Amino acid sequence: MKEANEVTKEIFKQLNGNSREFIKTFLEALNTEHNTLQQLFWKYVKELSKGYKPFYVDGRNENAVEFANLVANLKTYLPLI
């Protein structure tokens, strides 16, 4: 899991910097990735949303918590095909 930890830190580093450029680059990669991996990515986003329970909620992340709850409760099934 060391690699996952490093990737996670890099994502947050990018978000804390020039997030518009990061989002543009990330979307370009996502939109051209294999269809199965695109679906798997969104499945992971949904799973992350289900587990998103920040220690402290205030005005800086309350909308993120609300959004994650909405995504987590979507009835969409994303099979790995």
Rg (CA), the chain: 14
Burial of 79 (0-12, 13-18, 19+ CB in 10 A): exposed
- Contact by Cβ (8 Å): 76, 46: yes
pTM here is 0.85
Residue 74 scores a pLDDT above 90: yes
Q: What is the pLDDT of residues 27-67, one digit of tens each?
A: 999 999 999 999 999 999 999 999 999 999 999 999 999 99
Which pLDDT value is given to residue 19?
A: 79
DSSP state of 60: T
